[in-house]
Structure 1
């Protein structure tokens, strides 16, 4: 058994105040937390896929992104869907989150409307920027991957495989994902696009 709040080395740490937002008293170990979050994420994904509106623009908004995060994590965390209020080891300053998140979705709507990039590249660029903003206390990667999957589906493509395994566990797959994100940080989107379809 591992410490409930022991995060992988490259994951976003949860502050003591955010830990107080844990809603389920039966969660006492990391495996319990992972199980509860995964079940909640599946419910959030089902909710998103059942929503009316099939246009990409229907999900490219701050309101949708925040509601999706709440749907993905709201049974586990009291702060689900709320922007983080503290600095992190990744992400922008907290005061910039609302503006940068809105600008991201404006940009993605423009890319879709004007075929700026191929569909896969639009979804992956959106995913990368959303992870780089890191708007929420936790769950940013999982949230950004689901939004990318929803977008590519609405653009007529298949959901991404994201390496075909769990990115929650420390290991080679997670290391490859983090390396691909870091390459995108350095303006090389290719490795992240390849990883998403691997």
Structure 2
């Protein structure tokens, strides 16, 4: 798959500015005023969805890995908080693909998933890493892309009898964490179709 454009990682800040205001465009919960408060409600919402999909093996009925489900997963995660959750962004970013081709690029994930449901073992982990990277690379939503990509990859792992990856969330947000640096380097390596470092991270943090 051609990865011709630089990737973002979907990682937030270190949390040092948690008490500062933020851009609330599209925010449904008007009582939220600071980044800290936003982080708390987003965490609770995403945790609920994570439990739905990862407490037991998710069936292909509830996680079919088709185009609509990929959008719907993001809406499940953040739809109670943001009006744009699950909607393909319409604006250009300094990361991600052009908005005009987002739907097609997500369609690639759906088509590849349909062909790979019979994979087992190490191939499942490699595919999860590939889907993880491609989802981050496409950057289809206004925000929450990294968290969505990591949960999507975990659903794939669990659905194919592999343990979920327990990403250290605090380290991924902390700009001074070597784990964050390693994660960013792994995503960038995958831009050149070198998925090895990202596969290694998935395996290191698996249950």
Output the TM-score relative to the length of structure 2: 0.80
| Consecutive unaligned residues in structure 1, runs of 5 or more | 6-15
Where does 1:174-193 land on structure 2 (aligned, <5 Å)?
Answer: 174-193=180-199
Deviation at 1:54, TM superposition (A): 1.4
Structure 2 counterpart of 1:8: none
Q: Of Structure 1 and Structure 2, which has the larger fraction of its residues in helix?
A: 1
Shift, 1:57, TM fit: 9.2
Bigger RCO (CA 8 Å, 6+ sep): 2
Q: RMSD over aligned Cα, in angstroms?
A: 2.5
**Are 1:26 and 2:31 matched, yes or no?**
yes
Number of aligned positions between the proteins:
185
The answer to whether the aligner puts 1:67 opposite 2:84 as a matched pair is no
1:102-140 Cα distance to aligned partner (Å, 9 max, x none): 12210122133466x711001111111111111111001
Per-residue CA deviation, residues 129-187 of structure 1 (Å, 9 max, x unaligned), is: 1111111110011001001111100100100123x343233232222211110011112
**Is 1:80 aligned to residue 85 of structure 2?**
yes
**What's the TM-score once normalised by structure 1's chain length?**
0.83
Unaligned runs of 5+ in 2: 1-15
Residue aligned with 2:173, SS: coil
Distance 1:73 1:114 in 2: 30
Matched, 1:147 2:152: yes
Correspondences of 1:38-53 after superposition (within 5 Å): 38-49=43-54
CA–CA distance in structure 2, aligned partners of residues 68 and 131 of structure 1: 14
Contact 1:22 1:78 in 2 (8 A): yes
